[in-house]
Amino acid sequence: MALCLKQVFAKDKTFRPRKRFEPGTQRFELYKKAQASLKSGLDLRSVVRLPPGENIDDWIAVHVVDFFNRINLIYGTMAERCSESSCPVMAGGPRYEYRWQDERQYRRPAKLSAPRYMALLMDWIEGLINDEDVFPTRVGVPFPKNFQQVCTKILTRLFRVFVHVYIHHFDSILSMGAEAHVNTCYKHFYYFIREFSLVDQRELEPLREMTERICH
């Protein structure tokens, strides 16, 4: 029997959503508009398009935060099955290995276990989306000039979570009855990054065959 996703997600408090939109702000209204479109049953390709008259950076910001929350939760359902012993390297099958690099502890690309990579990734993204200089929330404060470049890096790294989960933990997705939910989240993510050309095509290669099958 399929498990209720809310029950699954409640098991691991480490990977609960960590970013909300402030009610009354323009971004909150955009978020509500995006969620309403999702729930309406509209084609996901249509849902991701920039609404007329809206600012593209605001639209991207809303989706980056939402995808962070959703993918954070998806990985949270796998966390108990993704360990130092089961996943000693952050990989996507035998052909793809992802190394971690940041501006603090790992200045050179480092080979890490999947759970260590994931923990660093989620903390890194959380730090960025809570940084007012990167994701400004105050009215009248502009986005930085490199905002879309930052979002490209965030989304590229979040895509790697899908790669690892689908290739190494798909049995867990099936056993929890979460396949439809994860697939829908992936399709929404995929259509969004393609709509705005936010992730290099080469990064998408590990899931190309699956993507061609479910995102036809």
Residues 6+ apart with CB under 8 A from 58: 26, 27, 30
DSSP state letter for 206: G
Mean pLDDT taken over the chain: 85
pLDDT for 38? 52
Residues 6+ apart with CB under 8 A from 5: 77, 176, 178, 181
CA angle in degrees (0–180, nearest 5) for 64-93-177: 65
- 164 known ligand binder: yes
- 181 known ligand binder: no
pLDDT at residue 24 greater than cutoff 70: no
Pairwise CA distance, residues 84 & 182, whole Å: 23
Q: What sign results for the dihedral spanned by CA atoms 120, 96, 205, 186? A: negative
CATH architecture of 1-13+20-215: Up-down Bundle (1.20)
Region of residue 140 (left: phi > 0; alpha: psi -120 to 50; beta: else)? left
pLDDT at residue 104 greater than cutoff 80: yes
pLDDT at residue 5 greater than cutoff 50: no
CA angle in degrees (0–180, nearest 5) for 98-202-17: 55
- 215 known ligand binder: no
What burial letters (b/e) apply to 77-113, b meaning 16+ CB within 10 Å? bbbeebeeeebeebbbeeebebebeeeeeeeeeeebb
The number of residues making up the chain comes to 216
For residue 118, what pLDDT band results from cuts at 50, 70 and 90? Answer: very high
